[in-house]
Amino acid sequence: MEQKGRIFLILVAMVFHGTESLSDDDGPLVLDYYKEKCPLLEEIVKHNVEVAVFKDPRMAASLLRLHFHDCFVMGCDASVLLDSFGGITSEKQAGPNLNSLRGFEVIDQIKYILEEACPRTVSCADILALAARDSVASRGGPSWDVWLGRRDSLQASFSGANQFIPAPNNSLETLISNFKQQGLDIEDLVALSGSHTIGKARCLSFRQRVYDVNFKGQYEIYDKYRRYTSFRRILQSICPKSGRNNDLAPLDFMTPARFDNHYYVNLLQGKGLLGSDTVLVTQDHEGEILKQVWAYATDEKLFFASFANSMVKMGNINPITGNQGEIRKSCRFVNT
């Protein structure tokens, strides 16, 4: 498979090598933005994402998370990809990202190929948006049209990454407020939380609640299932009380490598891994969120449609367009 991939990339580079990038048009994000500028863009991104996910299935969740963590800090502008250099302090060093975010090398590889095929044409921010979509589709999830035309930020926000990226122990009220700041509503919060149907979380993210003496109380409404006790023991076996902060547990124990609606089934059975997962059903005093969780748990097509719609909405958070920002040659550094 790797050999076929190299042949494909060489052919792409041969066809487009030397092609000059066109000037960027002012205006909002559009479909087919690169139709003339870089017609094989989506094929290149999809191929490389599929290869990366084939080698490491967890990479699908990692690339999806990269896009999420990018958009929640200054908008979808690829600021999350910048390394510390000069006056820039990388967002990668912020609490929610340090020793946690992955997939940077995959984005680097895609960018390298695109620079050979279509120099100074495709933004790193657009690569992130496409890679997130293709990652979800590669694991059996929905696909959607990605609106393009983003440009790359000239700066990063270390403080913003610490402030605006949701934490795994956030209360429901905090999550709702956090999403509202980004122009996303409660329905978006519940739908996008479904991204936790794939991927893994570090012990550091959930150990505290596993050993909380009030753990049972968090699931009083699920006592009839009598499943939280065995689930708790499983988590404790993965994460002892001390040490091993970077040991991993799947966010979805039922189908950890497949993008489906089992995340919501897990919540209804008291098997949400993170505190920020369980609050969707334990702190919903009005019951409206619980209704949405039930709807997604019983209708996967409905969840897929809602998730795709919310991903498009999230991808439109404060993009840089027109003559603002730049098209980076390397996603890790601003152009010199």
Return binding residues: 70, 73, 75, 77, 79, 91, 166, 196-197, 252, 255, 260
Q: Looking at 17, 47, 67, 69, which residue is catalytic?
A: 69
Q: How far apart, in whole angstroms, are the C-alpha atoms of residue 291 and residue 284? A: 10
- The span from the first CA to the last CA of the chain, in angstroms, equals 37
Cβ atoms of 296 and 264 closer than 8 Å? yes
Distances (CA, A) of 274 to 38, 61, 94, 107, 171: 41, 16, 20, 27, 11
Q: List C-alpha distances in Å: 235 to 209, 216, 318.
A: 10, 14, 38
As annotated, the binding site for heme b includes 196
**For this structure, is 69 an active site residue?**
yes
- Whole-number Å distance between alpha carbons of 264 and 272: 8
Total residues belonging to the chain = 336
CB 59, CB 53: distance < 8 Å:
yes
Annotated binding site for Ca(2+): 70, 73, 75, 77, 79, 91, 197, 252, 255, 260
Helix ranges restricted to H, the chain: 2-16, 41-55, 59-71, 104-117, 124-138, 158-164, 172-181, 186-193, 203-210, 228-238, 262-268, 275-282, 288-298, 300-314
Give catalytic residues, as residue numbers: 69
